[in-house]
Copies of this chain bind each other. A is one copy, B any other.
């Protein structure tokens, strides 16, 4: 018999005892869009906040087909076997549209999912990227409170999702495919500037030589580009999830990176900055949502915007007109 609602204490004690069923239910609570779940979820979060922050937070991105799941499974199993407690979360903005989701396929990460030291959670579906991001951040905190010391956040890299994942992790990895000549043309703009470690995947079989060549080429390029993290040269590694090569080296590089971040006092500083940014973006998202959902604004904005786009009125005049309407309308309740 599963009761529909646990108390705050039941959630908190269950999470802290690493009761995986209760952790999963707490994440479901955090993911719920129902108003009645919101206060309870926030009460649970408030109670576990002091038990958070002790993990290493890793972000992993890469185009579909780059082999993210296979790599995360290989890395996760290696770490879990060593005694680490590994949680895998995902952000997939496309799941809002398709209702499918990365990690949603039950057969994926099968070995890792069944590992006693691992916890794998599919991407929350539905809602805006901002909403999904909030849910993933809060799920990450719940996993930390449950004692997971390595949290991996995966994203498929649609839209702004890399920026979102980057904003909640300590170390950001991109998984690259190689083969063709113009390696970077398939990359999304801006990705090079977010990445701490670049992994050339599928460096196996007859692809091995090509991957090693691509590695050298990427090393040359990252050396010339502005640095992502002060004092850290974006590292490039070749890996094969199938042959199991490069997985340990990749993790060693993550640890080197974290060591560098801690020694240079950037580790906590980045987290504090991330927390402050998160707070402001939540706040500002909601303020703007209130504005754009105002009925008077919805009635008048499209026409004014069209006039601006057509060059009929100045953007300033259009903006002031709308704001005046909004302030009058807000003052009226």
Cross-chain contact of A42 among B192, B227, B317 (Cβ < 8 A): B317
Q: A45-B314, A46-B313, A314-B138 are in contact. Are A319 and B283 (CB under 8 A)?
A: yes
Q: Could you mark each residue 266-289 of chain A with 1 if its beta carbon is under 8 Å from any beta carbon of chain B, else 0? A: 000000100110110011101110
Chain A residues touching B, range: 35 or more
Q: How far is the CB of A305 from chain B (nearest CB, A)?
A: 6
Q: How far is the CB of A197 from chain B (nearest CB, A)?
A: 17
B312/A224 in contact, CB under 8 A: no
A275/B226 in contact, CB under 8 A: no
Q: A282-B315, A314-B46 are in contact. Are A276 and B305 (CB under 8 A)?
A: yes
Q: Is A97 an interface residue (CB 8 A)?
A: no
Q: How far does the alpha carbon of A333 sit from the alpha carbon of B332 in the complex, in Å? A: 8
Q: Is A69 an interface residue (CB 8 A)?
A: no
A308/B287 in contact, CB under 8 A: no
Q: Which of A3-11, A49-57, A236-244 contacts B (4 or more CB under 8 A)?
A: A49-57
A275/B309 in contact, CB under 8 A: yes
Cross-chain contact of A226 among B187, B290, B304, B331 (Cβ < 8 A): B187
Which residues does chain B contribute within 8 Å of A295, judged by CB atoms? none
Enumerate the 8 nearest inter-chain pairs by beta-carbon distance, A residue then B residue, closest first. Answer: A279-B315, A282-B319, A45-B314, A184-B224, A283-B319, A279-B308, A189-B226, A189-B193
Q: How far is the CB of A282 from chain B (nearest CB, A)?
A: 4
Which residues does chain B contribute within 8 Å of A309, judged by CB atoms? 272, 275-276, 279
Which residues does chain B contribute within 8 Å of A275, judged by CB atoms? 308-309, 311, 315
